[in-house]
Chains A and B, each alone.
Chain A
Amino acid sequence: MRNPRRTQKIAFFLLFLATLFIVVPVGLIVIIIIQKGLPAVNWQFLSDVPRQGMRAGGIFPAIIGTVYLVTGAIIFALPIGVLAAIYLNEYAGDNFLTRIIKLAIVNLAGVPSVVYGLFGLALFVVFFRFGASIIAGSFTLGIMTLPIIITTSREALESVPYSFREVSRSLGASKWQTIRYIVLPNALSGILTGTILGLGRAAGETAPILFTVAAFYLPRLPHSVFEQTMALPYHLYVISTQVPNVDEKVRYGTALVLLALVLFMNLVAIVIRFKFRKKKKW
């Protein structure tokens, strides 16, 4: 007869191995990039334009380009996303329309990033004649971030106790006043967390900006939102696959800066979440 205790031991060991199989490579990836990228990262690398066909110099325009794109995306997506979350959590009834909206959000979150790129190309670049530009890229990234912002904002709104709304309404506050003065201020930390997570995602995306904004090589800063710009993730793609004989250090350095940027945003989000959770008064 099989011994159930031993079976359990073996099973748990296998589960543990599976977990290691995921976690260890993550650690390795981060460690390798830090170890090989750190020597390349210095002030000049961060502040200089790329030189010698991107084999030397720095990545400053790519960093700034990514900052522009992410900022543009958030200016576009944050108001729409938060208002959509307010609609879903405060106004929407339990009906067919709500069901369809939720399904649309799920689908928006699942659309492949390269399809967002196609969409941005067709709508902003071609149809609206923006050309490949920061504005086209930002809007594309913005629409892509929308489901993250809606979902996390909605969770934040949901976490504000219903009784606060009831009290506010009982004092004669209208629905919007209640949302504006009670619900939103108390959901702010959660909304902020979601926004930063969305930003992190947008900062790391390449496919949506491929045909909407990203410049292969543009060693200066853009002058207006209707210009192209370099961007960190695309730059990493370019120097890894399109340009021969790039010093490995430069590639790792670029990867490190991108990874650090994205992880930093995630860290900020986690810290905000943690801090406010501790501060919660109810």
Chain B
Amino acid sequence: MNIRKVKEFFIEKLIFICGLASIFFVVLIFLFLLREGAAVFNSVSPAGFLSGRSWYPISEPPQLGILPLILGSLMVTVGAAVISIPVGVACAVYIAEIAPPSVKEALKSGIELLAAIPSVVIGFIGMVTLVPWVKSVFRLPTGLTALSGSIMLAFMAMPTIVSVAEDALYSVPKSYKEGALALGATHWQVIHRVILPAAASGILAAVMLGIGRVIGETMAVMMITGNSAVIPNSILQPVRTLTATIAAEMGEAVVGSEHYFALFAVGIVLFVISFAVNVTADLFLHKRTS
């Protein structure tokens, strides 16, 4: 009896510790990024790092300005958002409101399937199908452009947008809909005047989470966007994102070098962005439930 009590005491302590594990890991990730990344600010100021216009990490002395990378990420992300938000929300509305039940299940499985395809496979498919197509349609020297990246990333954001937005639409009380229909509104009028506004904060959260996924996406973007670290002035140019920079260069960076520290500092920037995006999205989701 007492042995049981002692055993349970330890099990429950263990459960509590594991309950805290996610906090522990988030903090640990941040601390280790900071530990390795902060050293770069010995040679470049945080402002200079963020707004520097040239990224030449292995020249002598290295030039560590990530503005081109930030703009590269921004361009690809905006492009992906322009495509994925309207299409994703529209698809969510179709699934939540219009599709008959059997079609609905099939569509949901299709979307889940898309979410399951590994990023590197998406990148590969983009490389062999979309990139040559962009090259020939726009008569470019290369199809590895921000546009190609945006299109493929849009597909990676859509599953998130569709499923979160669909949840939000679905949780709008049925009575709202019935009330409006009883007043003689058409189904479409009900959707865009009643249901969409009622689900607005959830849809906003869906959009945020989708964008978060795009900003953090690495492999596909590295394979498709051409990776040139210059400030882009057109969506038909090659760009390099924050994520792709880390992935492409960390393999060659010497541990403890300026370059190594700088890549960790890029990691800090990414971590902070994703943190902000996720906290905001969570606030929107919370607003909906409360």
Contacts and interface: CB of A to CB of B under 8 A. Distances in A.
Interface string A129-165: 0000000000000010011001000000000000000
Interface in B113-146: 113-114, 116-125, 127-129
A7 B18 contact: no
B22 A23 contact: no
Contacts of A177: 8
Interface string A32-71: 1100000000000000000000000000000000000000
State the majority secondary structure of interface residues on B: helix
A16 B124 CA distance: 28
B189 A8 contact: yes
Contact of A112 (B15, B20, B128, B270): B270
Given A23-B110, A115-B270, A266-B113, A5 B247 contact: no
A1 interface: no
Nearest to A82: B18
A112 B223 contact: no
Contact of A206 (B22, B119, B209): B119
B100 interface: no
Interface string A239-270: 01100000010010001001100110010001
B204 interface: no
Interface string B259-288: 000011001001100110111011000000
B107 A207 contact: no
Contacts of A79: 18
B217 interface: yes
A137 to B, nearest CB: 14
B159 to A, nearest CB: 8
A107 B162 contact: no
Chain A interface bracket (under 10, 10 to 19, 20 to 34, 35 or more): 35 or more
Interface residues of B, number: 87
Given A12-B98, A14-B90, A91 B19 contact: yes
Interface in A84-127: 84, 86-88, 91-92, 100-119, 121-123, 126-127
B23 interface: yes
Q: Which 8 A-B pairs have the closest CB atoms?
A: A204-B118, A112-B216, A87-B19, A18-B90, A83-B18, A8-B188, A110-B278, A104-B22
Given A19-B95, A115-B267, A174-B8, 20 more contacts: A22-B87, A87-B19, A107-B275, A110-B216, A110-B275, A110-B277, A111-B271, A114-B218, A114-B246, A114-B267, A116-B29, A117-B247, A117-B250, A118-B33, A175-B12, A204-B119, A251-B128, A262-B116, A263-B113, A266-B116
